[in-house]
A and B are shown apart, each in its own frame.
Chain A
Amino acid sequence: MPAYVIRNVRPLGGDAVDVVLDGGVVAAVGADVEAPAGAVEIDGTGHVLLPGLVDLHTHLREPGREDAETVESGTRAAAAGGFTAVHAMANTSPVADTAGVVEQVWRLGQEAGWVDVHPVGAVTVGLGGDRLAELGAMADSKARVRVFSDDGKCVHDPVLMRRALEYVKAFDGVVAQHAQEPRLTEGAQMHEGVVSAEIGLAGWPAVAEEAIIARDVLLAEHVGSRLHVCHLSTRGSVEIVRWAKARGIDVTAEVTPHHLILTDENARGYDPTFKVNPPLRTADDVEAVREGLADGTIDIVATDHAPHPLEDKDCEWAAAAFGMTGLETALSVVQAAMVDTGRMTWADVARVLSTNPARIGRIDAAHGRPIAVGEPANLVLVDPAATRVVDGAAQQTASANTPFRGRELPGRVVATFLRGRATVLDGSPVAAA
């Protein structure tokens, strides 16, 4: 593994310096540093250097739906998007609800070598919502699971949710809730509002998300646990989380890139690429989640990368699967929605896409670190001045269901480093030797 010298680069968008990566760590940061013998020189002029991105919410689909994605293809996509760690959601087949399955996913991640894969454990057996899975066994396994989620399903039983919140305290875990009141969303297809009324698709009301979040923050307060809210999408959700934080409740929240930029108006053409759960909301909700992300109410951006094979999207809207890919567009969307609009700095981007998710996932000894001498060399080099037109077929993910197909987005991942090894160089993935 060669050493790297990145010349004239702006860490967190600050003043330009040279950065040396050697022996898996940041070896030097400063002006005109001496390059180690044999080091690869990279011109970082105009580029921004960030800590490697951390995704708290990725669907890698393996085991079970290798037609949509594998750990190998999904983590290659993650590296291409600037990530050095991802949390792999539990709704696989079989469900990741035992130590055996989470260790399998963890091992596949190790073998692929693109990013660190941290499996998420299911809260309930088979995502059934009936009884707790063996959370302790998953926490104690080689995968060292700290994040537990029934994502795709809501832990809607209030007693079960209370027990889960309490139980994971024993190993500093967190329950990541997919907030969706199931009775209010039976058959739901898209955000319930003006557009759904007109185009005749069954509505997914904002209250079905907000009611669960309100309940859960109060439960978390009552039992003194931490709670993570997955992909919140409405103004009301932002306001409830803001209220909970002001009250001192230990809650963190995420928003997806697509909820920062797309709206329910995108459903008008009945293109199921735009069918996602929670659904795309209104322009007012987009404004609210941008405000919440900028002011810290929302702690992180997480992709909810949800690959699907073509046949699950090339059909009637009501028959199509929920979800869209996101790993390779997340950073560009955050740049477009938050940086280029003047709402956030690159240091803020590092906070919401690296530092905070690493902390919530309890992997902050290795990821989301400062760019300083001696720190692990998990980094991403970004050219914010570049633009590109998204082509789903040209992405690393095995699925093409990107909602940004044909859209020009700002920014380009030039290089990604995982413990000093370049997983991406010149924008292209580099397989381990």
Chain B
Amino acid sequence: MKHLLSAQDLTRDEAILLLDTAAQMAATQSREIKKLPTLRGRTVVNLFFEDSTRTRISFETAAKRLSADVINFSAKGSSVSKGESLKDTALTLHAMGADAVVVRHWASGAPHQLAHAGWLDAAVLNAGDGTHQHPTQALLDAFTIRRHLAGGTGDLAGLRVAIVGDVLHSRVARSNVHLLRTLGADVTLVSPPTLLPVGVETWPCATSYDLDATLADWKPDAVMMLRVQRERMSGGAGAFFPSALEYSRRYGLDHRRLAVLPDHTIVMHPGPMNRGLEISAQAADSDRSVIVEQVANGVAVRMAALYLLLAGGSSAEGTSI
């Protein structure tokens, strides 16, 4: 692996190596001294064209725990606003000797362009691009599911995961559908028809418009709620659903729906949550909720990704982890 651009690119073996490496990384994080010397002298640039404090500090923490030098580059300007172009930014990072570039971008495909346009030769980690992909989110979700429901090893064969909400605009959904399938899980996307993309029929998953039926009849092992952005219900004639209340009634995870779930089923959310819209406070704070743990696992997964991309030749066991 030279880059991590899309969860869809990962083979089963690569995905499991990432998860196993993340487990080793997580184990080191319970030590008193959390910092490993693995990436000493390497430079990781967090290149963020879009605000995301959570993802940035997660990557920053991961890189620092591996002793890499971290540079945060917040590039609010863009080719659109006549700021510096993506190309010039890339050439600048290349000139500064970046070993890895963690990129968050509002434009789908920008990390792919950084990796393939010949502007720089650093490893590129996609930290979320437009409505395309967010592969480390899918990896941390898979890691969390594996810990709770698959004994923390191997794949996710036979597990059922319902992903609920705004699939159309969600890079989290696109990433999870492919990675979960690669790992053997079955996925059902639950969404109002307006928030499922035309073309979804070729994705390796089922779809449903009915959350109650999916929860009661399909009995998912994990329920992943997607953030619904409030601008999706504005725009008058172009709104994707009539009101927040109607959305919550039909697609929100509340205590009533929580009670329908099998005892072992976990509740997930990539954050940040809209409490009261797609998820109620009871659901978010229930014993089933693994939402805070997802955040912690994010650091381990990102450590694994950075480690495998930058020191990938040797196995994790062969180092001083």
State the A residues within 8 Å of B (CB).
Answer: 183, 186, 192-203, 205, 269-270, 311, 314-319
Which of B51-59, B104-112, B253-261 lies at the interface with chain A?
B104-112
A193 to B117, CA, bound (A): 26
- For the complex with contacts A200-B171, A270-B110, A314-B87, 19 further pairs of A-B residues with Cβ separation under 8 Å are A192-B199, A193-B198, A193-B199, A194-B202, A197-B197, A198-B199, A198-B202, A199-B108, A199-B132, A203-B197, A270-B112, A314-B117, A315-B87, A316-B78, A316-B86, A316-B105, A318-B80, A319-B79, A319-B107
Chain B neighbourhood of A203, CB < 8 A: 197-199
B238 within 8 A of A: yes
Q: Is the CB of A316 within 8 A of B107?
A: yes
B199, A195: Cβ atoms under 8 Å? yes
Name the residue in B87, B197, B237 with the highest tally of chain A Cβ atoms < 10 Å from its Cβ.
B197
30 A-B contacts (beta carbon < 8 Å)? A183-B238, A186-B238, A192-B199, A193-B199, A197-B197, A197-B203, A198-B8, A198-B203, A199-B132, A200-B109, A200-B174, A201-B132, A203-B199, A205-B198, A270-B110, A270-B112, A311-B79, A315-B85, A315-B86, A316-B79, A316-B80, A316-B86, A316-B109, A316-B113, A317-B109, A318-B107, A319-B78, A319-B79, A319-B80, A319-B107
Given A183-B238, A319-B78, A319-B107, also A198-B174 (CB < 8 A): yes
What's the Cα separation between A311 and B200 when bound, in Å? Answer: 33
Mark B6-25 against chain A: 1 for CB-CB distance below 8 A, else 0.
00100000000000000000
Q: Does B133 contact A (CB under 8 A)?
A: yes
Contact B108 A201 (CB under 8 A): yes
- 10 A-B pairs closest in CB distance: A270-B109, A197-B199, A200-B132, A316-B107, A197-B197, A200-B131, A200-B108, A315-B79, A194-B199, A319-B79
- B166-201 vs A: 1/0 string, CB under 8 Å? 000001001000000000000000000000011111
Contacts of A316 in B (CB 8 A): 78-80, 86, 105, 107, 109-110, 113
User: Nearest chain B CB to A210's CB is how many angstroms away?
Assistant: 15
Given contacts A270-B109, A316-B79, contact A200 B129 (CB under 8 A): yes
B116 close to chain A: CB less than 8 A: yes
Chain B neighbourhood of A192, CB < 8 A: 198-199
Closest to B199 in A: A197
Q: Name the interface residues of B132-183: CB closer than 8 Å to any CB of A.
A: 132-133, 171, 174
Closest partner residue, chain B, to A206 (CB atom): B198
How distant is the Cα of A200 from the Cα of B133 in the complex, in angstroms? Answer: 8
Q: How far is the CA of A203 from the CA of B113 in the complex (A)?
A: 20
Nearest-Cβ distance from residue B243 to partner chain A, whole angstroms: 21
| Interface flag for B97 (CB, 8 Å) | no
B130 within 8 A of A: yes
- What is the bound-complex CA distance between A187 and B132, given in angstroms? 15
Shortest Cβ distance from A425 into chain B, in angstroms? 37
- On whether A200 and B130 interact (CB within 8 A), knowing A311-B85, A316-B107, A319-B78, the answer reads yes
Closest to A194 in B: B199
> Do the beta carbons of A314 and B85 come within 8 Å of each other?
yes
In the bound complex, what is the Cα–Cα distance between A53 and B156 (angstroms)? 61
Instruction: Assess A201 versus B109: contact at CB under 8 Å? Given A315-B79, A315-B87.
Output: yes
Q: What CA separation (Å) do A270 and B133 show in the bound complex?
A: 13
Q: Which residue of A lies closest to B110 (CB)?
A: A316
Give chain B interface residues in 63-109, CB to chain A under 8 Å. 78-80, 85-87, 105-109
B78 touches A269 (CB 8 A): no
Whole-angstrom distance from the CB of B200 to the nearest CB of chain A? 6
Interfacial chain A residues near B202, Cβ < 8 Å? 194, 197-198
Q: Closest Cβ of chain B: how far from A107's Cβ, in Å?
A: 34
Can you name the residue of chain B whose Cβ is closest to the Cβ of A318? B107
Write the nearest CB–CB distance from B143 to chain A, whole angstroms: 23
Which residues on the B side are within 8 Å of A319 (C-beta)? 78-80, 107
Q: CA A270 – CA B117 in complex, angstroms?
A: 10
Within 8 A of A (CB), among B190-220: 197-203
In the bound complex, what is the Cα–Cα distance between A200 and B85 (angstroms)? Answer: 21
Contacts of A199 in B (CB 8 A): 108-109, 132
Complex alpha-carbon distance, A217 and B287, angstroms: 62
Q: How far is the CA of A60 from the CA of B154 in the complex (A)?
A: 60
Residues of chain B lying within 8 A (CB to CB) of residue A311: 79, 85
B171 cross-chain contacts in A, Cβ below 8 A: 200
The smallest beta-carbon distance between B15 and chain A, in angstroms, is 18
Q: Contacts of A200 on B, CB cut-off 8 Å?
A: 108-109, 129-133, 171, 174
Give every chain A residue within 8 A of B87 (Cβ-Cβ): 314-315
Bound Cα distance from A64 to B129, whole angstroms: 34
Distance in Å: Cβ of B302 to nearest Cβ of chain A: 21
B contact residues around A270 at 8 Å (CB): 108-110, 112-113
Nearest residue, chain B, Cβ from A196 = B199
- Complex Cα spacing A183 to B107, Å: 21
Once the chains are docked, how many angstroms separate the CA of A199 from the CA of B5? Answer: 12
Q: Which of chain B's residues have a CB closer than 8 A to the CB of A205?
A: 198
By beta carbon, the residue of chain A nearest B235 is A186
Which of B113, B201, B237 gathers the greatest number of chain A CB atoms within 10 Å?
Answer: B113
A195: chain B residues at CB < 8 Å are: 199
| B11 → A minimal CB distance (Å) | 18
Nearest CB in chain A: distance from B269 CB, A = 20
Report B7 CB to chain A, min CB distance, Å: 12
CB neighbours (8 Å) of B116 from chain A are 269
| In the complex, chain A residues whose CB is within 8 Å of the CB of B78 | 316, 319
A269 to chain B, nearest CB (A): 7
Measured between C-beta atoms, what is the minimum distance from B206 to chain A in Å?
15
Contact, CB under 8 Å: B107 / A317 = yes
- Min Cβ gap A280→B in Å is 15
**Chain B nearest CB, measured from A209 CB (Å):** 15
Q: How far is the CB of A378 from chain B (nearest CB, A)?
A: 42
What residues of A have a CB within 8 angstroms of the CB of B197 in the complex?
Answer: 196-197, 203
Q: Looking at A196, A269, A270, which has the most chain B CB atoms within 10 Å of its CB?
A: A270
Report chain B residues within 8 Å CB of A186.
238
Q: Specify which of B79, B113, B129, B198 is in contact with A197 (CB 8 Å cutoff).
A: B198
Chain B residues with Cβ under 8 A from A194's Cβ? 199, 201-202
- Residues of chain B within 8 A of A269, CB atoms compared: 112, 116
Question: Closest CB-CB distance, B126 to chain A, in whole Å?
Answer: 11
Neighbouring A residues of B237 by C-beta, 8 Å: 183
Which residues of chain B come closer than 8 Å to A183, judged between CB atoms?
Answer: 237-238
Q: Please give me the residue from chain B that is nearest to A202 by CB atom.
A: B131
Q: Which residues of B contact A201 (CB under 8 A)?
A: 108-109, 130-132
Task: Please indicate which of the listed interface residues B106, B116, B198 has the most CB atoms of chain A within 10 Å of its own CB.
Answer: B198
Distance, CA A199 to CA B126, complexed state (A) = 14
